[in-house]
Amino acid sequence: MDEPLSNLDAKLRVQTRAEILRIQQRLGTTTVYVTHDQVEAMTMGDRIAVMRDGILQQVGTPPQLYTSPVNVFVAAFIGSPAMNFATVRAEDGKLKLGSANLELSGRAARAAQERKGKNLLIGFRPEDLEIGNGGAAAGVVRLPAKIEVVEYLGNQELLHADAEGNEVVALVPSERDVKVGQRVEFTIPSGKLHLFDPETEETLV
């Protein structure tokens, strides 16, 4: 099936997506489904093969591609809103982002230690960012930021913020009632932080 839903409006696309899944599950027929829409890939695929310029990048289940992307291309393609990226400098078990020090733990800390003095690319998903949570607990990366735009989505808000000169998008519960111009401290579980080599764009953890 080659992009069968591309010309449908949003509502009909969701309905047809579900109907195709019902038919496929009832027939039990292996189906190859081609799409540029990552939501279709994630919701419909038992296994996803991500390709770039005709070259296979990664094959896996939707959760595997979401949690363990092998490179920047897969990380940016999977997930909505898209993953945040920023360039940092590796130091002793931590990362330097502008004037902010991102304290690390586990595999991320070891990767930073091994590449001390080099620039790295970090990635983190909007839904993994929280505001002011984590206290003094270990394994939490803290990122100061200033809110620039708030998009109200009902039970959630999409926050666009400036973090040391980098645009960061966060998806948080709307009850946090964040205002434009407010300074916040985002926290990210260290295990949710992705590290990439800026030259090869391959994952380091």
| Structural domains counted in the chain | 2
Q: Which residues of the chain have pLDDT under 70?
A: 133-138
Q: What is the pLDDT of residue 104?
A: 84
Asked whether residue 162 is domain-assigned, the answer is: yes
Are 160 and 98 contained in the same domain?
yes
| pLDDT tens, position by position, 28-58 | 999 999 999 999 999 999 999 999 999 999 9
Query: CA 100 to CA 23: how far, in whole Å?
Result: 52
- Cβ pair 92, 77 in contact under 8 A: no
Asked whether residue 74 is domain-assigned, the answer is: no
Strand-pair partners of 102: 95
Are 103 and 64 contained in the same domain?
no
Q: What is the pLDDT of residue 47?
A: 96
The percentage of the chain sitting over the pLDDT mark of 90, rounded to a whole number, equals: 78
Asked whether residue 165 is domain-assigned, the answer is: yes
Give residue 189's domain range. 84-196
Asked whether residue 5 is domain-assigned, the answer is: no
Are 112 and 181 contained in the same domain?
yes
Query: CA 66 to CA 153: how far, in whole Å?
Result: 23
Are 95 and 44 contained in the same domain?
no
| CATH number (domain holding residue 33) | 3.40.50.300
Q: What is the pLDDT of residue 176?
A: 83
Are 56 and 102 contained in the same domain?
no
Are 101 and 134 contained in the same domain?
yes
Q: In one letter, which amino acid is 114?
A: E
Asked whether residue 75 is domain-assigned, the answer is: no
